[in-house]
Amino acid sequence: MLTPLVFLTGCIFGQSSEVKRAEKILHNFECKNVETSQIATSSINSYYQQSLAVSKEKATSYVESYKNGEELFDMPLDEVLKQQYQLYKSACDSLGGVSSQP
C-alpha cells in the first residue's frame, strides 16, 4: 500500500516542478517593440498578430490544465511550451518585435 502512495506523491511533485518550469517559459511570451496601431494592415500581418495571440493563449491554457491535474500530452509540459514559444517568437520577429529568450 505504501508503494502506490510513494509513486503518486512522486508524480505530484514531478508534475509540480514541470508546471513551474512551464510557468517560467510562459513569462517569456512577450513581444516588445511592436506597436499594433502602427503595423500596416495586411493579411500577413493579421496572420502574425493572430499567431501571437493563439500561441500565448494555448500555452496559458496548457499550464492551467496541468495545474488542474489534466495531462494533455505524452511529452513534458515545458517541452510543449517551448514549441509554442517558437511559434510565438517567429510571429513576433516577423512583426519586427523583440521577444525574450527562454
pLDDT digit string, tens, across residues 49-93: 999 999 999 999 999 999 999 989 999 999 999 999 999 999 999
Residue with cell 516577423: 94
pTM of the model: 0.77
Look at residue 14 in the predicted model and tell me its pLDDT: 53
Look at residue 36 in the predicted model and tell me its pLDDT: 63
pLDDT confidence band for 37 (50 / 70 / 90):
low
Look at residue 9 in the predicted model and tell me its pLDDT: 41
Angle between helices 77-94 and 2-26 (to 10 degrees): 10
Look at residue 99 in the predicted model and tell me its pLDDT: 73
How far from 49 is each of 27, 34, 68, 97, CA to CA, in Å?
18, 10, 29, 11
Look at residue 33 in the predicted model and tell me its pLDDT: 78
